[in-house]
Structure 1
Amino acid sequence: MTVAVTAAGGQLGRLVVEALLREGATSVVAIVRDPQKVADLAERGVEVRQAAYDDPDALDRALAGVDRVLLVSGNEFGARVAQHTNVIRAAERAGVKLLAYTSIPRATENPLILAQEHNGTEAVLAASTVPHAILRNGWYWENYFGGLGHAVETGVLHGAAGDGRVAGAARADYAEAAAKVLTTDGHEGRVYELGGDERLTYAELAQVISQASGKPVRYENLSKQDYNAALEQAGLPGPYAAALADADAGIGGGLLDIDSGDLQKLIGRPSTPAADVFRAAFA
């Protein structure tokens, strides 16, 4: 059985390939824009094929002979549904037996800015002929790494989540779940709502960061508008800042508080403790 991972040079895709190798997968294909980014994986026996999401011909070559594929959602906001559709159509032409897609929790009814293109992609999948599974990944604890330095330096973690809880997990946990779906049977037609064991408020998250860093950090809640402005002031592009502020407000509304247990069932263990994830970041 040949298993392929798109965007295998990215943070999640690479971790999925690593998890597949640990699972004992013998025929793994890494689909990447830049083969040099995964030269080390090629040295370990992974077959590297070059393709971009907006190149249907290259995608046809990349998926030739592939039995199962993970479509890692792209990061080009505004173009993602069209790009994902290219991969889905190539999977149909290749006769792929299972396509797993990394989505967002409650995608079909989730009002977040970040959910809209996932919802669109899920609709394309639903109308396609390729057997598929949806991996609705919750928040990664690593999503907070970009602001860790500022939080520790100032002693304040800013956000707009109020008392909402986020069921985060390590990126590697979600990668392990994807690898399990790609290497075991019975996942066709399944929708997995994936979230970690710890459902933390931002005040509790600040405590975790404080303990991991050895520096006092407290949470200061801002309005969605003020947090958006703060992110832009910190140098984030306007659309990205708006999406992150919107996600924080969504956390306040419970949109990323997942308690399905799906992640834990797939990986066969509890999710990685947030404290371990943040300690590793500071190490």
Structure 2
Amino acid sequence: MITAAAGTNVALVFAAGAALDTPTVTIAPTAGGAAVIGPTAAGLGVAGSTYTYVWQVSSAQAQASYTATLAGTSGGDPVEVEVEVYVTSLPLYASLAQLKDLFTITDTDRDSVLVDKLAAASRSIDTTTDRRFYLDAAATARVINPARRVVQDDDGWRLLVADIGDLDGLVVEAGRAGAWTDITSSVEAEPTDAIEEGKAVTSLLRIGGTWPTGAGRRVRVTARWGWPAVPQGVHEATLILAARLFKRKDSPEGVLGSSEWGVIRLSRTDPDVYEQIKSYIRPGLA
């Protein structure tokens, strides 16, 4: 099983074993119900006996398990190849395959449970750090009240913003509804090398001026919000926490048994998780 977040694209690869006549792809809920894609041949790629299809998962796609089926004929005989896809409402910070490797799990019986633990761990890290480590698919506008978000240092006046993970399409405007002035050319994204280093921009420096702070004055920022990539520490923390959540089924009273170590009580907080994410915790923005 592979995982994909709603609103993203996922490449599906089908090893058919032979070239197929009239191949099509259908994607439907594994539990049953109407197909969400197909059957269709549009967008189906082929290299020898390997077929590929990029599923553009709708942002409104329900979180569930889906079965993608490649169907066709070879020598007159019907051929079907299936790929399981678990759609999550938001991106995960570690993969199902990585979590399964921790437990040396080779079957697929518990895949949906493991994905749920990865989702819970990822969202818990979002909540604890007060930020999220995935990038919006497209730039969107946010209107910001500069009050209590403007700070001054040796370089000038900075506007503290939510994380920005891509500067393509960045537009900064000052004013109020119906009367915006584009000031993008007089703004620098800071830290300067954040995007190149796989980090987020967290403030905008106004060059040669200040930010509007008068009554009713606002700043409108259009950007792709989030992080450009999942930091390694967040990735590791997700695996640790997801593994702990999965193991709770073996410790309903908060203890684990071991033939070598006896009984070990699970801590209510995991210091290893905190150590990995503590540098990413940010003060909240009002």
Shorter chain as denominator, the TM-score bin is under 0.3
TM-score, length basis structure 1: 0.25
Q: Which has the higher Rg, Structure 1 or Structure 2? A: 2
